[in-house]
Amino acid sequence: MAQPRALAPPSPLRPAPPVAPLPGSFTLRQDPSTRAFDGGTVLLGGSPLRLFRISERARELLDRWKNGAVVGPRRSAQLLARRLAAGGAFNPEPTSSTLGPADVTVVVPVRDRPEQLDRLLDQLQGEGLACIVVDDASADAGATEEIAERHGAAFMGLESNVGPAGARNAGLAAVHGCVAAFVDSDCVPSDEWLGPLLGHFDDPVVAAVAPRIVDAASRSSLDRGLQEGPVRPGGRIPFVPSAALLVRTDVARGPELFDAALRGGEDVDLVWRLHEAGWDVRYVPSSTVKHQGPANFKAFLTRRAFYGTTAGPLSRRHGEAVAPVHVSGWSLLVWCLLLARRPVLALTALSVSIVVLARRLRGLVRDPVGVATQIAGRGTTRSALPALASLTRAWAPAFVLGLVFRRTRRASALALVVPALHEWAAGRQEVDPVRAVAVHVADDVAYGTGVWIGCVRARTVVPLIPRIAWRARVWSKPTLQQGLQDSTDG
């Protein structure tokens, strides 16, 4: 299939500053994925998994940090903290902030939502935050302006509808503070929502921070879950929605921060462009913003299908980052053999992957076979259900078709139902399992249908093809290994 030309990027982003030490006022919290091996001289963690070799002195620092101590004033300790945080093995936690509400300007793009806007501005006014309301050619722009003025917010009216990305860009141009908080009109931040977010901007390489978006009434596709971490393509948290997002105002060099050419997926695009420019984006679920979902189930599915259509255009700029799943070829082989009821061959494939990895780890760790067994075993088991969920979401229309045929009916039904049951069991939804599974499957089918439509429009199959790696890098770069040693020897 012929590929169209890559989508032209918007105004370039300012490159992130060179990797700097993590500020000493931060603490570090060990990521749930991180484990110690090889007598504590090796750490394995992050998303994707990375292996870190550390010195005896570094272990002493880690023990102190695990007990809540701040990183401290020593540059060597701050460099070590930076490298562990950059690899995703530990999550940085600010203990204070040099910024406050006076440094934040809230930008609210809105179109035809007077009641929701009134509710949002009422909450923001109570917090004393400066607000800019950008009316994106509402049917009654006068009503929007009246609500904005009543709450003391600045009003900006656009003559034609430019979409949420363009409206946010227009609002950003009028922001004079150092942080812009983009909040959609159908959202309501919780009390003290800025507190857990602002401290992260004391880290000079952090460009954006996102709270957790929750919807108590229904399953929210915007909810990134309970676990904090870095936001990056291919990671555990690949993107965060722009329904509520704090961004440094100086990361954009030109008039555009979001790509106004994208009517959907502009938040994914922004996060990935920030990553490519060297910036960090953090997800902080201790801060929450309530989101009012679609009015009914049909509207919910329509929105999910629309979100799916954005995968095609995004793939024209970001390529394989839009792949439905990033998976180890060895893990995929083991899963396929198990599904084919070939347990002996599956165990053989897993053993071969351990031997191959152990040879690559020789000289890096004391017990290469033991560490390789942990990496391969954990990687294969831990990633199975997330990989299936991601693949099912993109290929749901094909699995629905598979229900029609006897030979594929069972496998298709399992592919659709198992991820839904896993999410329900994880406690993400306070509803009965039957309803939870039905909503999840309908969600996947709607989103997958949108993906297929978007692929046809963009003339690409990239969002449908899994990205398979047979030789993934599981340890930190040699420069990082050396840096970990150097940062604790002086």
Q: Can you give the residue ranges of every domain in the chain?
A: 26-96+475-489, 101-193+205-293, 326-469
CA–CA gap between residue 256 and residue 259 (Å, rounded): 7
**Closest CA relative to residue 379, chosen from 50, 36, 37, 39:** 50
Please state which architecture CATH assigns to domain 101-193+205-293: Alpha-Beta Complex (3.90)
CA–CA gap between residue 22 and residue 388 (Å, rounded): 36
Q: Give the global pTM.
A: 0.89
Instruction: Judge whether 331 and 469 are in contact, CB under 8 Å.
Output: no
CA–CA gap between residue 179 and residue 177 (Å, rounded): 6
**Closest CA relative to residue 282, chosen from 247, 234, 317:** 247
Tens of pLDDT along the chain (490 residues)?
334 445 556 778 999 998 789 999 999 999 988 888 777 778 888 877 777 888 888 888 898 998 899 999 999 899 999 989 988 899 999 999 999 999 999 999 999 999 999 999 999 988 889 999 999 999 999 999 999 999 999 999 999 999 999 999 999 999 999 999 999 999 999 999 999 999 999 999 999 999 999 985 666 778 998 999 999 998 889 999 999 999 999 998 877 899 998 888 999 999 999 999 999 999 999 999 999 888 888 999 999 999 999 999 999 889 989 999 888 888 889 988 988 888 999 999 999 999 988 888 887 778 888 888 888 887 788 778 888 899 999 999 999 999 999 999 999 999 999 999 988 887 655 678 888 899 999 999 999 999 999 999 999 999 999 988 877 555 544 433 443 343 333 3
How many CB atoms neighbour CB 402 within 10 A?
Answer: 18
Contacts (Cβ under 8 Å, ≥6 apart) of 261: 7, 8, 10, 165
